[in-house]
Every structure is written in C-alpha cells, then in structure tokens.
C-alpha cells in the first residue's frame, strides 16, 4: 500500500468543526419541504450527525489497521514523510524496517515538536505485528490504543482498540488478504461506543484497488451505506425512523462534504465532525 494512501486516511482518527446550516426547528413531526420531501427535525439532525461522526471514528481507526499498517510492514523496509495529515492536524513520518512499523507524529514540518507515535514491532517466529498508538497534540490529542496482527501465508488477521479524546472507544477486528504486489483486500468489523452508551457497528469491505464500502447500523435505529473511492472521497445514504430521511451524503478525500435531507436541506460537515444542532 502506498505511503500516500496511508497518510491520507491516517487520520482513520480524528477534528474539524462541522457547520450545520439551518439547524433550527423543533423535535416534533417534520413538515413538507421545498422539494416535497419531509423536513428533518432537530432529533433527525442530531442522530444523523451522531451516526456519521461514529463512521468517521471508524475511518480513523482503519488507518491503524492492517489495511494501512500491517501489509507494508510485512514487506521491504522503507521510509516516507513528513506528510501533513489534515485529519490529525499533524505531520507524519513513516518508517518500516524488517522488524517494525512506526509512524511518528509532529506538530511541525521540521520535526522539532513531537506529537506521539504508532509503534508496532514484528515478532518473526510468530509473524505477529503488535504495539501501541499515542497522540499527544493536534486534532486528536489524547488518542491512545493498542494493535495486534498476525500473518499466515497471504492472510493477516488481528484487532485494534482505540480510545478517542472524547472518551469514544473503537474496537476493530480485521481479516485481509495480501497480493504479491503488496495490495490488500478484506473486511473489518468495528464497534464505536461513546460515553452515553450509544454504539454503532459497521462492516468495512476493502477492495484491492483501494476502494471500499462501509455498511453501518446503530442503537438509534439508523443505518447507512457509504461508498469510498481509492482516495477516500465518496457518497452514500443514511436511513432511519425519523422525518427527513433518507438523506444523501457526499464527501471529498479529507472527509469534508454535505448531507442532503429529503426536503432538500443541505448540511455541511468537515472531517466527519458534527457539533450538536
């Protein structure tokens, strides 16, 4: 996997501000909007924001999984960076040796202000890559977690557990297949849980060309299908039990985009982050 792709998503954790437009309105029943669809209530907007923010947390987590870490670590040594990661708000330097995979984070391009690291060590006899993640500055200052992946032939399976600065946790289990050229494909199952007890479970299907599909459902009764191109731009839909749905979602490679509700109301977001309406 190219280092550029790894840096792009290596934020898969995490925070810009989402400016909700037209977020007034009551939490009661919706009313027909200008396009004939039903207007979203405040509850709808809140629940859609919570659902997509959790999907964004899962994306950040993916940047630390085998999709972005284990595969290159099991191949030849290399180094890259510093590369600026917009999601993290940090500069990232990647170093791969025969026995380790390390991402070192900095606040500045000159690499004089350390901001944490993701350090994985490869145990050669068991072919297990494991280690910890810690970010001390930037958009996700306070993020921490642990990672483990084991290779058997052309397959890698493992798990990742992260705690975000907000207290939200991400638990990920993944299984991927390696190609001779270093490309990866496979699936990841993730559960994102916040401090209120809300949780979202998603399945990520990653293709060898770097594109992927995420299907998710949560404890509010919401569900979504999000389709990503290899640069992580994409589109999708969100469904749920409240007025104003389904909603369509479009975003660019940095996770900045729009949610369009059934009545045509458009909400802008950045880095998959939403403030409460």
Burial class (CB in 10 A: 0-12, 13-18, 19+), 40: buried
Whole-number Å distance between alpha carbons of 168 and 90: 21
Whole-model pTM?
0.75
Report in angstroms the alpha-carbon separations of 253 from 174, 184, 222. 23, 20, 24
Does residue 28 carry a pLDDT above 70? no
The contacts of residue 172 (CB under 8 Å, 6+ apart) are 58, 61, 62, 65, 159, 160, 161, 162, 188, 189, 190
DSSP code for 41? P
Instruction: Answer for the pair 159, 145: CB distance below 8 angstroms, yes or no.
Output: no
Record the tokens describing residue 1, joined without a space: 């996997």
Alpha-helical (H) ranges within 224-266 are none
Does residue 68 carry a pLDDT above 70? no
The arithmetic mean of pLDDT across residues 152-179, rounded, is 86
Predicted local confidence at residue 14, as pLDDT? 25
> Which of 204, 202, 232, 267 lies closest to 40, judged by CA?
267
The arithmetic mean of pLDDT across residues 194-222, rounded, is 92
Please, which pLDDT band fits residue 241 given cuts at 50, 70 and 90?
Answer: very high
The DSSP bridge partners found for residue 105 are 92
Pick from 30-44, 48-62, 190-204: least confident: 30-44
Predicted local confidence at residue 250, as pLDDT? 96
Predicted local confidence at residue 270, as pLDDT? 84
What percent of the chain shows pLDDT beyond 70? 79
Predicted local confidence at residue 210, as pLDDT? 83
Instruction: Answer for the pair 59, 272: CB distance below 8 angstroms, yes or no.
Output: yes
Mean of per-residue pLDDT scores for the chain: 80
């Amino acid at each position: 996997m190219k280092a550029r792709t790894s840096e792009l998503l290596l934020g898969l954790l995490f925070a810009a501000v989402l400016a909700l437009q037209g977020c007034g309105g009551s939490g009661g029943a919706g009313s027909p909007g200008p396009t004939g669809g039903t207007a979203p209530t405040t509850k709808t907007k809140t629940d859609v924001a919570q659902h997509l923010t959790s999907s964004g947390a899962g994306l950040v987590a993916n940047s630390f999984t085998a999709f972005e870490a284990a595969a290159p670590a099991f191949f030849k040594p290399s180094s890259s960076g510093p590369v600026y990661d917009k999601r993290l708000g940090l500069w990232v330097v990647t170093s791969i040796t025969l026995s380790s995979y390390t991402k070192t984070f900095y606040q500045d391009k000159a690499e004089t202000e350390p901001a944490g690291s993701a350090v994985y060590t490869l145990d050669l006899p068991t072919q297990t890559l494991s280690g910890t993640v810690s970010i001390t500055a930037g958009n996700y200052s306070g993020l921490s977690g642990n990672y483990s992946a084991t290779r058997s032939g052309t397959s890698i399976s493992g798990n990742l557990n992260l705690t975000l600065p907000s207290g939200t946790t991400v638990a990920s289990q993944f299984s991927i297949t390696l190609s001779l050229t270093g490309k990866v494909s496979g699936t990841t199952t993730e559960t994102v849980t916040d401090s209120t007890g809300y949780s979202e479970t998603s399945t990520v299907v990653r293709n060898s060309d770097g594109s992927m599909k995420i299907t998710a459902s949560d404890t509010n009764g919401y569900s979504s299908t999000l389709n990503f191109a290899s640069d992580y731009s994409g589109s999708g839909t969100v469904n749920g039990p409240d007025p104003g749905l389904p909603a369509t979602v479009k975003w660019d490679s940095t996770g900045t985009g729009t949610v369009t509700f059934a009545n045509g109301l458009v909400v802008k977001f950045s880095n998959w982050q939403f403030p409460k309406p």
